[in-house]
Amino acid sequence: MTTPDKKADFSGVTSKVDTTAEKVEKADFSGVTASVDTTAEKVAPAEQTYTVEKGDTLSHIAKQFYGKASQWNAIFEANRDQLDDPDKIKPGQVLKIPNIQS
């Protein structure tokens, strides 16, 4: 013969919270300061590449990537390993497009 499980009787339990702390309306963080120190190096975004198409010029490519045709020299200098003359780029060449500071 099994007896039914008795449930705990909490009917006589009471609780009370008493505190001497004053009621705070809003936390005051006005004196808090923070700083972050790091030894990590600043990493530049990855260099892009561009495949030259028929009719392209370094000025045209610079305008596309930098918004200024006058930045063509940055592309030329980044690709000196394959370019001897800025006016002689060929379709199919893959040029490095360096990240430059505006």
Predicted TM-score (pTM) of this structure: 0.55
**Matching CATH number, 48-97, of 3.40.50.1820, 3.30.360.10, 3.10.350.10, 3.40.50.2000:** 3.10.350.10
- The full set of domain ranges for the chain reads 48-97
Tens-digit pLDDT profile for residues 19-70:
776 665 777 778 888 877 777 776 666 679 999 999 999 999 999 999 999 9
Cα(first)–Cα(last) distance of the chain, in Å? Answer: 88
Distance between CA atoms of residues 58 and 95, nearest Å: 10
- At 73, which helix (H) or strand (E)? helix 72-78
